[in-house]
Amino acid sequence: MGKRGRQAEAARNDLRLLEAAHEVFTTQGFDAPVSAIAKQAGVGMGSLYRRYRTKEELLQRLCLIAMERVVEAAESALADDDPWEGLARYVRRCVGFRSGALAPVAGTIEVTDEMWRTSRKATDLAERLIARAHEAGVLRTDVTALDVSLLMEQFSRPAPGPPSERHQHVKQRLLAIALDGLRAPGVTELPGDPPDLEWYEGRWAPPPES
């Protein structure tokens, strides 16, 4: 096999590993052994450890990919001429690939500089989406970009039991209800202050040593 063939095979193995890791971690929990990931991906443990030396490295890569996909979804939404449809499509896309499924690892892994940069880019783009929807009068004025991000995080949680079409139908139904709840003018006053960026990002800081 030539160099190009080996590179293509390595890329395929990496993709299988990442897909398997996301599935195993989000269904079996983040304490799942990496051997379960290798088995799911159909690769040997040696292949896994050559690419990711630790579970933390693997989780960091998964988190970065999720953030990059959020950035792509936001950029695509901003290209939509309709402020509401752009925002709704952004929410649906992020929920579709479960953008917040890895949120439970917050505070348990080191956040790399690249992760921070990508996260802040995603936040900036989301704030532009929200500002545009507010200016158009289609989004209730008391909803913030972090409200929307946290809403998507809630929809990213796995349902109990094996995946099913019924579950997907119910999720889409509830998402439609949630999106209608975001529309202006809004009927129910939202309780409490909105989440702030310091709290939102602070979840990823490691706990203080005792």
What was the pLDDT predicted at 10? Answer: 66
What was the pLDDT predicted at 153? Answer: 93
SS3 for 108-161 is CCCCCHHHHHHHHHHHHHHHHHHHHHHHCCCECCCCCHHHHHHHHHHHCCCCCC
Record the pTM: 0.86
Residue spans in the chain of domains classed CATH 1.10.10: 1-53
Could you tell me the CA-to-CA distances from 145 to 32, 188, 190 in Å, in that order?
32, 19, 15
Q: Which CATH superfamily is domain 62-202 in?
A: Tetracycline Repressor, domain 2 (1.10.357.10)
More confident residue, 206 or 41: 41
* The CATH number of the domain covering residues in 1-53: 1.10.10
**Confidence grade of residue 107 (pLDDT, cut at 50, 70, 90):** confident
CA distance 9 to 195: 44
**Confidence grade of residue 6 (pLDDT, cut at 50, 70, 90):** low
Q: Is the pLDDT score of 4 beyond 70?
A: no
Question: Mean of the per-residue pLDDT values for the chain?
Answer: 89
What was the pLDDT predicted at 15? Answer: 86
Residue spans in the chain of domains classed CATH 1.10.357.10: 62-202
More confident residue, 129 or 158: 129
